Chains A and B, each alone.
Chain A
Amino acid sequence: MEAVLSKIRFRDPQIEMAHGAGGKASRRLVEGLFAPLLFGDSTEPLGDAAHLEVGGTRIAFTADSFVVKPLRFPGGSIGELAVNGTVNDLAVSGARAQALVVTYVLEAGLPSEILEAEVRAMAKAAACASVVIAGGDTKVVEHGKADSMYITTAGIGRPIPGINIAAASVRPGDKVLVSGPIGDHGITILLARGELELEAELCSDTRSVLPLVEAMARVAGPGIRWMRDPTRGGVATSLNELARDCGLGVMLWEDAVPVRDVVRGACELLGLDPLHIANEGQFVAVVAPEYAHAALQALHDWPGGSAAAIVGEMREEPSGTLLGVNGYGGVRAIDMLVGDPLPRIC
């Protein structure tokens, strides 16, 4: 017991919003408190989903929670995020989702029609993603808690044949791919909150990325080393985690990263970096160089994959670091987020 206790490295006196933002503070919490106490002696890097052996069969297993304000936003709602987010966690771990269970924590006073709208959205998203919702639970808390509703899911699936994801298999020279334009979801949410008084034609990118992953796997399966869905904390956080987990460096060609003009404009106005903004319908992948172009072509040929791009490559040095290079050779280190992205004026 003492040996376990001594591994607890989480020293923050209280929980802050930053601990849920997907950046450094989140990592400190997970690695410093949850991992030593809950995850046993496993030295595997923490991934999006766990691949386990159950009764002789390999399954993939994941859980996720969804807390979003506002509940409905252009392009989707919390219900869709819940289904797609879970399917995507499994997809980027190299698994095809088969079933989800869902729990709702509902705030007393929530109008039933709002709940019904979310449940319908979930049913539709599940049908779209060919996944079964197998059961769930409901709790109701007092008015003033739960921001209308919180949704938690657990998802189970089967490994996609031919894919073997492991940070340890990543090699210098491997290419980094992104499945489409980044930053759409986070900026949509920021604008939908209405506090910054910005308007734009933009919607969340929430969708299941499983079809794209499978399309890529069909031609490049043996070459797919690692994948992640860059949700909170954005692409920069995911690539920092990659660099840390495999001990290599990531070189990102910033001009190659697809970003919609409207997202760029909003980020410039607010002083935000699209690389730190959440996505809900994209993935980043590391692919062996001999498979990279086939993988890219497969994505381009698939509906919804036309904006996919090769955006960087793995390097020996500097270890554990994400570097961004621009079109004229300027280089900057890109860290993971500390907390939530905050607009700035300076």
Chain B
Amino acid sequence: MCLAIPAKVVELFPGERSRALVEVTGVRRHIDIGLLEDDPPVPGDWVLVHVGFAMSKISEDQALDQLRMLTMLGESEAAMEEVQGYGVET
């Protein structure tokens, strides 16, 4: 259910829309990108791979944002307010 790894798309296949070759530190596997058909990845994109399927694209911006927030922890409580909650007030 949970084991999913970030991998880089290195090759697409013109005849097979759902197939992509991805790589993680030198390990390569063909995966299925059918679950991303609404916004297919291109070579260079990073995707999250679970049981041989791409589940989601990984946003480098969001990752950097998150790391920035982590490094700012404790420096200013106001900085944490950047983390938007989408829920309902109780």
From known contacts A345-B50, A345-B51, infer whether A269 and B1 are also in contact, taking CB-CB under 8 Å. no
Residues of B within 8 A of A346 (CB): 1-3
Say yes or no: is B29 at the interface (Cβ < 8 Å to chain A).
yes
Please tell me which one of the listed residues B5, B28, B52 contacts residue A200 in the complex, with CB atoms under 8 A apart. Answer: B28
- The docked-state distance in angstroms from the alpha carbon of A38 to that of B7 is 51
From known contacts A345-B50, A345-B51, infer whether A266 and B3 are also in contact, taking CB-CB under 8 Å. no
Of the stretches B19-27, B37-45, B56-64, B69-77, the one at the interface is: B19-27
Least CB separation from B21: chain A residue: A199
A269 to B26, Cβ gap below 8 A? no
* Chain B interface category by residue count: 10 to 19
B3 to A345, Cβ gap below 8 A? yes
- The docked-state distance in angstroms from the alpha carbon of A304 to that of B81 is 53
From known contacts A197-B30, A345-B51, infer whether A262 and B25 are also in contact, taking CB-CB under 8 Å. yes
Say yes or no: is A261 at the interface (Cβ < 8 Å to chain B).
yes
Residues of B within 8 A of A269 (CB): 5, 7, 24, 27, 29, 49
A261 to B25, Cβ gap below 8 A? yes
Residues of A within 8 A of B28 (CB): 198-200
- The docked-state distance in angstroms from the alpha carbon of A198 to that of B23 is 10
Q: Give A247-274 as 1s and 0s: 1 = Cβ < 8 Å from B's Cβ atoms.
A: 0000000000000011011101101000
Q: Give B2-17 as 1s and 0s: 1 = Cβ < 8 Å from A's Cβ atoms.
A: 1101010000000000
B29 to A198, Cβ gap below 8 A? yes
Please tell me which one of the listed residues A197, A265, A271, A345 contacts residue B26 in the complex, with CB atoms under 8 A apart. Answer: A265
Least CB separation from B30: chain A residue: A197
B26 to A262, Cβ gap below 8 A? yes
CB distance from B87 to the nearest CB of A (A): 28
Please tell me which one of the listed residues B1, B25, B52 contacts residue A265 in the complex, with CB atoms under 8 A apart. Answer: B25
A265 to B27, Cβ gap below 8 A? yes
CB distance from B16 to the nearest CB of A (A): 15
Residues of A within 8 A of B51 (CB): 345
Least CB separation from B52: chain A residue: A197
Residues of B within 8 A of A345 (CB): 1-3, 50-51
- The docked-state distance in angstroms from the alpha carbon of A201 to that of B25 is 10
Say yes or no: is A344 at the interface (Cβ < 8 Å to chain B).
yes
CB distance from A199 to the nearest CB of B (A): 5
B26 to A261, Cβ gap below 8 A? yes
Least CB separation from B4: chain A residue: A345
Residues of A within 8 A of B2 (CB): 345-346
Please tell me which one of the listed residues A200, A271, A344 contacts residue B27 in the complex, with CB atoms under 8 A apart. Answer: A200
Q: Give A313-346 as 1s and 0s: 1 = Cβ < 8 Å from B's Cβ atoms.
A: 0000000000000000000000000000000111
A271 to B25, Cβ gap below 8 A? no
11 inter-chain pairs at a CB distance below 8 angstroms, sorted by A residue, are: A198-B29, A202-B26, A262-B25, A269-B5, A269-B7, A269-B49, A345-B3, A345-B50, A345-B51, A346-B1, A346-B2
Could you list which residues of chain B lie within 8 angstroms of chain A, going by C-beta atoms? 1-3, 5, 7, 24-30, 49-52
A-B contact sample (19 more), CB < 8 A, given A345-B2, A346-B3: A198-B27, A198-B29, A199-B28, A199-B29, A200-B26, A200-B27, A201-B26, A202-B26, A261-B26, A262-B27, A264-B25, A265-B24, A265-B26, A269-B5, A269-B24, A271-B3, A344-B3, A345-B3, A345-B50
Which 3 residue pairs are nearest across A and B when measured between Cβ atoms?
A265-B25, A262-B26, A261-B25
